[in-house]
Structure 1
Amino acid sequence: MKKAREAITELLSYGMAYRIEKIVEKTGFKKSTVSSALRELQAAGLVVKEKDQACYDRYVYLSADAPKGFGISRRLCELNNILRELRREKNLVHA
């Protein structure tokens, strides 16, 4: 499972958003393994699940560290980092 999490984190670190099928294809792990790893990464605040713009009933996954949009200011990036740390702390408290 650790290798799957590492592979998914590496794949999403480039800032791209992928559907679960594409993550399975690119990492080579089974869909059940990828699904479990994505849930764990979401709980840790490392991965974000969003609605797919192309298909309303599908979701894409992207790194919580990935910048969104064009011209992200330094202050917005800092705020995003603070919020990510708060999510991680919240997960540690509930664990």
Structure 2
Amino acid sequence: IPMSIGITRYSAKKFAIINLFSAWCWSGATMVLAWYFGEEIWSGLRLIEQHWYFAIPIIGGILYLFFRLFKRMENHFMNSRKERDESKTTRS
């Protein structure tokens, strides 16, 4: 977000104010959710602590999905770049 605000040439003061309010919103939402679901979070952590061995395949599956997703995104961007470069060379 700071990069996008810098590109749009916001003043530093305006950016700081927007950033402050967004930080308050995020922290407020996080605190309310933690307060409301606090007991459920703790019971979930106790369950995970008792059955830690289930975490290994779950974490492995999540990592596999992330790597697969990022590889797909990389291929998409590389193909887009290749097509763009080829179209530039055919026009010139």
Fold match (TM-score > 0.5): no
The answer to which structure, 1 or 2, has the higher relative contact order (CA under 8 A, 6+ apart) is 1
Tell which structure's C-alpha radius of gyration is larger.
2
Q: Which has the higher helix share?
A: 2
Q: Which has the higher strand share?
A: 1
